[in-house]
Amino acid sequence: MADLEEMLHERLAPAFAEVAGEAADPTIRRSQHTGFAGGDQRGDFQSDGALALASRLGRNPRDIATDVVDQATLDDLCATVEVSGPGFINLTIDDVVLTRLCTEIGRDERLGVAPADNPETVVVDYSAPNVAKEMHVGHLRSTVIGDAAVRLLEWLGHRVHRANHLGDWGTPFGMMIEHLLDVGETEAAYELSIGDLDAFYKAARAKFNGDDIFAERSRRRVVALQSGDESTRRLWRQLVDESEKYFMTVYDRLDVRLSDKDFVGESFYNDRLQPVVAELDRLGLLRDSEGAQCVFPDGFTHRDGEPMPIIVRKSDGGFGYSATDLAAIRHRTQELGATRLLYVVGTPQRQHLEMVFQAARQAGWLTPPARAEHIGFGSILGRDGKMLRSRAGVPVKLVDLLDEAVARAAAVVAEKNPELDETVRTRVAHAVGIGAVKYADLSTDRTRDYLLDYDRMLSFDGNTAPYLQYAHARICSIFRRAGVEPPRDVQTLTVTEPAERALALELLGFSGVVAEVARSLEFHRLATYLHGLASTFTTFYVRCPVLQAEVEVRRSRLVLCDLTARTLAIGLGLLGIQAPDQM
């Protein structure tokens, strides 16, 4: 246990309870130093619990704070403990403790982040492109955020199912199969494999709209597909396979962990729709409304207070997408045994998902400890502040966006470090370009829209991937230059300079942030932490020469460098971003 906030909490909570006569939250947090004239006078951490207690106990908060400080055992952790202002307790960590804890996490592969004590089975539903349709920027966020969730939860020891809920079913497949037959299977396979998905889809759509005979063929084809006609199934499978192959090339380029085994498309649930609807009926949850079979989940009302439906079976007898969503929930909780279902889906779908979740709860398919969470995200906007679209007004192809980022990264790397040889440079450009795109996506509150700006995301200044990657590369450069291995068996560290101390303190915050993000899946908190760490490091880097320092100090600084590099690499890794050794 190297989480200082938690350690302080454990020490102060009993003291607060003693003084208050009941349990009271010490409310520990890192102190804010900036903007405070007179410098570093608020300690490293502060406890604000006394203020909240004042009115409840009818006592002066300063007196309460003083009593708490008297009660608490803090000597072995803190160098100074001061009551300040209206009743804050300012806590300054003892340097000896700081160095001891850093040494401790330095010996740990996981930097002091313990695996979950109660690993659970988690399903992450993300990415979900549509067969024979191009991936566009809308899929970017789901894929990137979902991938980060998978990486983080797996790293913490949870069993994670990656559910790529591919759009591989529905009426459009009639026309796509007919179009496939028209152009010939070989030609179609070629078009799809080179990633010209939109052209294929559009051609099919155009014929469907303009050619009655084709439209009729398409409708018959849908029926054949649904009734399981063998040759139709084969053609359908071919469309799906080609698309999956194409999506895999995008995922590889994006450096995302999805594999071809993770495609669990809508069609997967076909056999389960009937039983789901039957069970809803048996449970008395199903009602007919205008010819459609609906569930009216509790708590959702329409315009004038009428209940709002989710349609599980359409009036034409076909199943609605809500039926698929419900079947997926039931499958995930009952067959996969999942207790945490994550839906990485845009915020506009919030209400739909909440209704489905509620219906599932009422059906008994989503009961504690199992729960579902909508990991919503906003839209990507262009520089004009509007939804990102290409000049033609269509959504921007995801691969085009990635190409642009990598090309720009390559140009920057070539300019800044011409000495890098060709292969390394290509690799670095990829890591930087893709990293920049992902980081831009993960570094702000995901529920909000964000502005896509290549110049900003690829800048080496500010809260960007390249800045973090650069900090990492510089550290690697130190070790490379000196020809030394990172010292991992060190017994003791020393911190003398303020910059060293600040870095040590920052390094110890990693486990707390990871724990918080595992709960909230607010990856921008991890990003903010990593940026703060990199920034603290660069200050240290400028102020504290490593290799020229005298033996003892040098070894100590090498440890701090190594710890920083590992924290950055692991932290970026959890976000799905590479940390190259040089750039």
Binding to RNA in span 123-142, by CB under 7 A: 128
Provide the 3-class DSSP secondary structure of residue 390: coil
Q: Which amino acid does the sequence have at 535?
A: S
* Count of residues interacting with RNA (CB under 7 A): 101
The footprint of RNA on residues 507-546 (CB under 7 A) is 522, 524-525, 528, 531, 535, 538-539, 541-542, 544-546
Tokens of 222: 């849908």
Of the candidate spans 112-120, 278-286, 367-375, 474-482, the one that interacts with RNA by CB under 7 A turns out to be: 474-482
The footprint of RNA on residues 162-221 (CB under 7 A) is 165, 167, 170
Beta carbon of residue 489, minimum distance to RNA (angstroms, whole number): 21
Q: Cα dist. 4→8, 87, 92, 157, 425 in Å?
A: 6, 21, 11, 23, 40
Query: Rounded to an integer, what distance in angstroms lies between the CA atom of residue 398 and that of residue 438?
Result: 12
Query: Rounded to an integer, what distance in angstroms lies between the CA atom of residue 468 and that of residue 535?
Result: 8
Residue 55 CB neighbours (<10 A): 9
**Helices and strands, counts by H and E, the chain:** 21, 13
The footprint of RNA on residues 258-277 (CB under 7 A) is 266
Of the candidate spans 116-124, 213-221, 291-299, 336-344, the one that interacts with RNA by CB under 7 A turns out to be: 291-299
Among 473, 505, 530, 568, binds RNA (CB under 7 A): 473
Between vectors from CA 365 to CA 359 and to CA 367, what angle results, nearest 5°?
95
Site string for RNA, 343-372 (x = CB under 7 A): ----xxxxxx--------------------
Residue 337 CB neighbours (<10 A): 12
Of the candidate spans 1-9, 140-148, 365-373, 471-479, the one that interacts with RNA by CB under 7 A turns out to be: 471-479
Beta carbon of residue 560, minimum distance to RNA (angstroms, whole number): 11
Q: Does 456 bind RNA (CB under 7 A)?
A: yes
Q: Does 84 bind RNA (CB under 7 A)?
A: yes
Dihedral sign, Cα of residue 110, residue 113, residue 117, residue 120 = negative
Among 75, 109, 117, 316, binds RNA (CB under 7 A): 316
Among 14, 157, 318, 498, binds RNA (CB under 7 A): 318
Query: Rounded to an integer, what distance in angstroms lies between the CA atom of residue 112 and that of residue 81?
Result: 26
Residue 130 CB neighbours (<10 A): 20
Query: Rounded to an integer, what distance in angstroms lies between the CA atom of residue 498 and that of residue 33?
Result: 13
Alpha helices in 129-256 (DSSP H): 137-155, 172-183, 185-193, 197-210, 212-226, 230-254
Of the candidate spans 101-109, 110-118, 150-158, 378-386, the one that interacts with RNA by CB under 7 A turns out to be: 378-386
Site string for RNA, 544-573 (x = CB under 7 A): xxxxx-------------------------
The footprint of RNA on residues 27-56 (CB under 7 A) is 27, 31-32, 34-38, 42-43, 46, 48, 51-52, 54-55
The footprint of RNA on residues 395-414 (CB under 7 A) is 412-413
Beta carbon of residue 467, minimum distance to RNA (angstroms, whole number): 6
Question: Measured from the CB atom, is 296 or 339 closer to RNA?
Answer: 296
